[in-house]
């Protein structure tokens, strides 16, 4: 999934247990006060009214800022699938139907913040170097060593970047 050009609003549960994007109160105020004509905006988006060319990502974010329900966004033909899938996943987590997941890269970043390179190397040596310490980790050793190696590399890369920026 490619990174969206506009940030995605967080998902909340409303009083009816409907998952929706967290509304932006300024946008809601402008709409509710009639400062913005939604029909005019719809005609611009559909191209039937002379107006600026606005990227679909901006329209998608605008509807999120309005506080659209996640299911309602799925009904909008122009709403990008990758954004909806992200929001749907967040909804499932919020409703307790799914557990949050993190990638190996995210895990490595977290480990790099927690452990020093020496601690990671020692842990890998313990896991790989002595069968008595392997125990329940045996089936996961290859994956663990890759995650820790990546964490060590990221930590080292971050340290080098910090030192280089200190010198510049």
Instruction: Report CA torsion sign: 153, 159, 164, 168.
Output: positive
User: Residues 88, 114: one domain?
Assistant: no
Instruction: Report CA torsion sign: 142, 148, 152, 157.
Output: positive
User: Residues 81, 16: one domain?
Assistant: yes
pLDDT at 16 over 80: yes
Residue 106 · residue 30 · CB < 8 Å: no
Which pLDDT belongs to residue 14? Answer: 92
Residue 11 · residue 20 · CB < 8 Å: yes
Q: Which residue has the higher pLDDT, 102 or 8?
A: 8
Percentage of the chain lying above the pLDDT 90 cut: 32
How many Cβ atoms are within 10 Å of 105's Cβ, its own excluded? 12
- The average pLDDT across 27-33 equals 92
Residue 4: inside a domain, yes or no?
Answer: no
Q: Which residue has the higher pLDDT, 140 or 33?
A: 33
Query: Is residue 86 classed as helix, strand or coil in its secondary structure?
Result: helix
pLDDT at 38 over 70: yes
Residue at a domain's end among 42, 68, 94: 94
The model's pLDDT over 72-106, given as tens digits with 9 standing for 90+, comes to: 999 998 899 999 999 999 999 889 888 777 666 66
CA-atom Rg of the chain in angstroms: 23
Which pLDDT belongs to residue 100? Answer: 73
Which pLDDT belongs to residue 99? Answer: 79
Residue 3: inside a domain, yes or no?
Answer: no
How many Cβ atoms are within 10 Å of 121's Cβ, its own excluded? 14
Number of domains in the chain: 2
């Amino acid at each position: 999934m490619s990174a969206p050009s506009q940030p995605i609003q967080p998902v909340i549960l409303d009083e009816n247990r409907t998952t929706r994007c967290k509304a932006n109160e300024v946008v809601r105020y402008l709409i509710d006060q009639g400062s913005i004509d939604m029909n005019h905006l719809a005609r611009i988006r559909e191209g039937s009214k002379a107006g600026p060319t606005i990227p679909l990502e901006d329209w998608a974010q605008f509807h999120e800022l309005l506080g659209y329900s996640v299911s309602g966004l799925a009904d909008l033909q122009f709403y990008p699938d990758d954004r909806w899938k992200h929001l749907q996943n967040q909804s499932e987590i919020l409703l307790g139907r799914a557990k949050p997941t993190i990638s190996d890269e995210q895990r490595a970043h977290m480990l790099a913040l927690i452990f020093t390179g020496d601690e990671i190397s020692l842990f890998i040596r313990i896991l790989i170097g002595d069968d008595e310490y392997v125990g329940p980790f045996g089936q996961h050793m290859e994956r663990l060593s890759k995650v820790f190696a990546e964490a060590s590399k990221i930590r080292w890369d971050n340290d080098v970047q910090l030192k280089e920026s200190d010198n510049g």
